[in-house]
Structure 1
């Protein structure tokens, strides 16, 4: 029996309460999350400046040894260079740049000759576009003072944080949502189990829950298996070992546009799960923020129910 999906007369007041809940959290906690990230990012920029001799030694060898400095170097340019723009300007492999930025590594099977040529192109583009106003010592040839280095590091860190401000807030919100769910469950006798290679939904003991558990599914062709990451997998206290758990996806949104753009993602997950594990799969959303009637109606039509964070006690209605 649905808990919220079949009650459209409640959607409008719940949407208003959810928006207020998110906005109150944002005003109180988002600035701190941003400041904390900026402090940590400033330290990373200072380390990158030290590794590059304050940007006077940007060489292919250095990029190979410290691939993690690349996003910092992009933000040290005038104008700051987007990842795809750097790939186009330098004429290098997207795989190389994405490995350096997302995995802080050089691609494991990269051809040495090709790699050196591409790192040379990247270093040349960066050196040519460095922001001389932020790093005046590059033109004067003088040794920068500690104050100049600190000021430059702060400016680059602001650029980096500005480019990822939405993910900073989203990640802080996700951590808070999972902590809220964990507290609610532990108060009712559930035990948290850390995920790992040995944990699967079949091995979860009744009365336990885990975060970011991968559920394996075969695609429709049957030739490829993928893992669907689930924010919360919960084995009800009254369940049987091996029984499919309740799956919870934590969702938050600071505007109405993005949720509606991505509303098919949950439906695709539900379809894949049901095609592998049957129509009794229980997959629900834990919502906070801007989710309008269009989004809710779409999810309800796909057989997906939800719990609002401002009414978290509705979780109990899912027989847990």
Structure 2
């Protein structure tokens, strides 16, 4: 039987290194154009939302004059904000060390916005009191100038302080802000391209199984269950884009796509093994008919592309999205 377009054994871009350099240049230009046009707005939107969160934290703590265990227990999500309200701003691990408190408590408060369910009341009060004392001692009195005088701040002073702390918070998460905005744009681009060609989107909340997807459908951020080597532990592998071609046969698995964007060459090369591991796990569970490709935008150099090609992973450039047709879509 001959190979057909859409067969994963027919490389689309992985076997054409003579095209890699011009594609890399076009992809970098594409990313930089997007960044200059849209990234500042994404950052500003996040900054506005973060400023409101800081203002709420100031209201709950009576403008940093009442950082009590009761307040921290009621509003555990304030902790990252309070860390950025100090001089100098302190990292999470630095707070744990300075206060001498449990890392589990701090991580639960920051990552899950909760108090650990099994911590006893006395321990909790002691640990939260230690955190409050460190924050109060290190509070940035250049920003929160009313702490020196014990007077009530004006609304203008509170707003100004909130903006400064929000800027500090956004500075620590600027890369995720841009990455999340870019991912949303990549998924929206693929969705528009597919729907223009008659495909129907299926939401991830429908308990969808990728093995039972109907022809002409697609979904985003779908979890695919696999058994790890040894077959004793099951985990879910999240896949950004799952597409069942319109012309697919009943036994054909959907095309699995990982959306990747990068604003520099360093990080992709540090993490280039992740895709190969993911594909190996999928094929170990579902056979060699699994088709797994990348959707690339930004800084992916020849070293990255060569590594993925050697691992049998192909890709589509966002600036040439029509290459999806060559994968049977």
After superposition, the C-alpha distances for 1:115-142 in whole angstroms (9 at most, x for unaligned) are: 2222122111111111011001111000
Matched, 1:166 2:187: no
Structure-2 residue corresponding to 1:125: 134
| CA deviation after TM superposition for structure 1 residue 242, in Å | 6.4
Matched, 1:109 2:118: yes
Structure-2 residue corresponding to 1:67: 76
Structure-1 residue corresponding to 2:19: 10
Contact conserved, 1:202 with 1:241, CA < 8 A, in 2? Answer: no
Matched, 1:190 2:216: no
Mind listing any 5+ residue stretches in structure 1 that lack a counterpart?
none
Provide the C-alpha distance between the structure 2 equivalents of 1:262 and 1:69, rounded to a whole number of angstroms: 32
Structure-1 residue corresponding to 2:281: 272
After superposition, the C-alpha distances for 1:46-94 in whole angstroms (9 at most, x for unaligned) are: 1110011001110111111101111100000100011121122222222
Pairs aligned (count): 320
Structure-1 residue corresponding to 2:36: 27
Provide the C-alpha distance between the structure 2 equivalents of 1:28 and 1:110, rounded to a whole number of angstroms: 48
SS across alignment from 1:247: strand
Structure 1 length normalisation: TM-score? 0.97
Provide the C-alpha distance between the structure 1 equivalents of 2:194 and 2:35, rounded to a whole number of angstroms: 24
Structure-1 residue corresponding to 2:7: none
Alignment counterpart, residue 146 of structure 1, candidates 155, 158, 161: 155
Contact conserved, 1:251 with 1:285, CA < 8 A, in 2? Answer: yes
Alignment counterpart, residue 251 of structure 1, candidates 260, 275, 283: 260
Provide the C-alpha distance between the structure 2 equivalents of 1:246 and 1:108, rounded to a whole number of angstroms: 41
Mind listing any 5+ residue stretches in structure 2 that lack a counterpart?
1-9
After superposition, the C-alpha distances for 1:125-170 in whole angstroms (9 at most, x for unaligned) are: 1111110110011110000001100110010000001111111111
Provide the C-alpha distance between the structure 1 equivalents of 2:23 and 2:16, rounded to a whole number of angstroms: 11
Alignment counterpart, residue 225 of structure 2, candidates 216, 222, 225: 216
Contact conserved, 1:204 with 1:241, CA < 8 A, in 2? Answer: no
Superposition RMSD on alpha carbons, in Å?
1.2
Structure 2 length normalisation: TM-score? 0.95
Provide the C-alpha distance between the structure 1 equivalents of 2:131 and 2:308, rounded to a whole number of angstroms: 45
Provide the C-alpha distance between the structure 2 equivalents of 1:35 and 1:273, rounded to a whole number of angstroms: 39
Contact conserved, 1:230 with 1:247, CA < 8 A, in 2? Answer: yes
SS across alignment from 1:234: strand
After superposition, the C-alpha distances for 1:184-243 in whole angstroms (9 at most, x for unaligned) are: 000110000000262121232111111100011111122111110110111111224564
Q: Residues 241, 149 of structure 1: CA spacing in aligned structure 2 closer, same or farther, 3 A cutoff?
A: farther
